[in-house]
Structure 1
């Protein structure tokens, strides 16, 4: 089994945090988004992962440190790591085809801007599986249309009339991804674009037209990391899941001086808390210090210093120095407010 991860986007909706760090590498609940996504997919698949192929953007932004992080992720799964580049942002289909050399055999395609919780078995009778989540407002999403056999017959983008409440979340399984590769190559050769981009859906529709059987795999939770507000919400949900599963979230190297931690919280290595209350629903990265502060429902990254703060719904980057009394804030890397 292979996992193909297109992640060439810059994550503009999550600025300023993505001005220096690609969005898939922003830590949520103590782990970069793409690391947690790939690990969770591997857990669901319940079979060895042969290769993880990542499609990155401009090397000036997705540099050696990004490649090293992804290679470590692949190695942790005992898988080969392949790195590809998408030279132009020409859509989901174009991104997948940027990894053309890896498109053979069984594979999962997963876009690296969401996190999931799920437990299901892949249908052995299906040629492909599109992972979905039941939603209350399907008109805001791309949804699947199902027949009486629960086979997907159609993909409908933001339907004005009810089609189904199963929204496509951007994760796909193909028994032989080489078939999708063939159809997407036809799309590229024929220059079929929507909104100036080549779309994965056009390749999928051609597979359906050939009679290939598509089923759904329904996830229990689908968590977005598109902007600051929803990323904090996702951090909260993930902390609660990990706490319920008994995962160790607070490092033994944390120093507490007249300080209190209200779980669930993730607190990394060598964090110092002086006269501070942290939690619930807080993630704090390595080598960060908090003093005379109260923090809840927030994300704070590595090597940051926080003093005299009362934070709620805050997202603070790496190497930040902050001294103040603001509450709902979003501060990027290397900022100083004193």
Structure 2
């Protein structure tokens, strides 16, 4: 079985953080989003991973995964030159993934119950061509939606419908047994220029075509997921992940108060400050005379005399003076 991670998205909802890094490389709880995804995949039987990359910053992803996970997985990198939807992204992997069993995991989604749990749920289903992670939501019109036959076999999928046929939203994880049928469906969409929501090639439409061609799909339940493509849910995921980790006893920090859970990187300096709870501080950051709560502080960032909460401070950024809520991109300098 192979995992496919589409990670070529521009990440406009995370501006300014994604002006200087791919969305999958935005850091929380001690490592990039992509690192947390690979950690979860590493708990499964999967040892081959295909990552879809694109844009001028794709080398950041390639360098990171080869350095941090090259001894755990065999990687293939496939380029998506034009961002034309999730279906189009998966379509790019046909030459390296057709014929394999696949786990498709979006590059900006983290899950409360991990991929090994999903694979176990899939294995308990009746014989099927694939399965889809779903969750009941309050506003299904904002998602891809699944309709089932009495809670069992999927009968219809539709992307962001104005009149949703059910409350079950597609949550961004898919397990495909019959990848030949999936790529046949994607081929049809692209070759016939069948575009869906957002004028893009949608994976949802390809799965719907599989059903129309007589293939069977089943749902499995996802408890909670975190769409790390937005600042508020990125901070929420940071809180959840930090709550599962043990805060290391910081060395050489004797003039600061550290309130767990926090993640402290290497070569950081914290003086006359209160840091935590739910704070991730990247390598080389300096914090002085500040109060930092429920925030993500980037690599080599400098915070001096600030009071921040629910904030994201980019790498190589300096913030001096009073503050409250911030979302500051990399390489910035702010005096308040």
Note whether the superposition's TM-score is higher than 0.5.
yes
Kindly report which structure 2 residues correspond to 1:180-195, keeping only aligned pairs within 5 A, or say none.
180-194=182-196, 195=198
- 5+ unaligned residues in a row in structure 1: which ranges? none
Structure 2 counterpart of 1:215, from 206, 213, 218: 218
Runs of 4+ in 1 over 4 A off after TM superposition: 159-162
Structure 2: distance between partners of 1:233 and 1:172: 23
**Pairwise CA distance, 1:40:** 1.6
- Judge conservation of contact 2:140–2:160 (CA < 8 Å) in 1: yes
- The residue that corresponds to 2:141 in the other structure is 139
Structure 2 counterpart of 1:270, from 267, 271, 275: 267
- Judge conservation of contact 2:159–2:205 (CA < 8 Å) in 1: no
- The residue that corresponds to 2:278 in the other structure is 281
- 5+ unaligned residues in a row in structure 2: which ranges? none
**Pairwise CA distance, 1:299:** 0.6
- The residue that corresponds to 1:330 in the other structure is 327
Q: What SS does the aligned partner of 1:270 have?
A: coil
Q: Does 1:298 align with 2:295?
A: yes
Q: Give the structure-2-normalised TM-score.
A: 0.91
Structure 2: distance between partners of 1:264 and 1:253: 12
- The residue that corresponds to 1:62 in the other structure is 58
- Judge conservation of contact 1:272–1:289 (CA < 8 Å) in 2: yes
- The residue that corresponds to 2:103 in the other structure is 108
Q: Give the structure-1-normalised TM-score.
A: 0.90
- The residue that corresponds to 1:83 in the other structure is 77
Structure 2: distance between partners of 1:100 and 1:29: 33
Q: How many residues align?
A: 326
Q: What SS does the aligned partner of 1:35 have?
A: helix
Kindly report which structure 2 residues correspond to 1:160-171, keeping only aligned pairs within 5 A, or say none.
160-161=162-163, 163-171=165-173
Q: What SS does the aligned partner of 1:188 have?
A: helix
- Judge conservation of contact 1:187–1:198 (CA < 8 Å) in 2: yes
Q: Which has the larger displacement, 84-93 or 230-239?
A: 230-239
**Pairwise CA distance, 1:162:** 5.7
- The residue that corresponds to 2:208 in the other structure is 205
- The residue that corresponds to 1:235 in the other structure is 238
- Judge conservation of contact 2:157–2:205 (CA < 8 Å) in 1: no
- Judge conservation of contact 1:122–1:129 (CA < 8 Å) in 2: no
The verdict on how the C-alpha distance between 1:157 and 1:193 changes in structure 2, with shifts beyond 3 A counting, is closer
Structure 2: distance between partners of 1:101 and 1:73: 26
- The residue that corresponds to 1:31 in the other structure is 31
- Judge conservation of contact 2:302–2:317 (CA < 8 Å) in 1: yes
**Pairwise CA distance, 1:202:** 2.1
**Pairwise CA distance, 1:148:** 2.4
The verdict on how the C-alpha distance between 1:159 and 1:203 changes in structure 2, with shifts beyond 3 A counting, is closer
- The residue that corresponds to 1:127 in the other structure is 129
- The residue that corresponds to 1:307 in the other structure is 304
Q: What SS does the aligned partner of 2:211 have?
A: helix
- Judge conservation of contact 1:254–1:272 (CA < 8 Å) in 2: no
- The residue that corresponds to 1:72 in the other structure is 67
- The residue that corresponds to 1:156 in the other structure is 158
Q: Which has the larger displacement, 309-318 or 92-101?
A: 92-101
Structure 1: distance between partners of 2:330 and 2:317: 6
Q: What SS does the aligned partner of 1:90 have?
A: coil
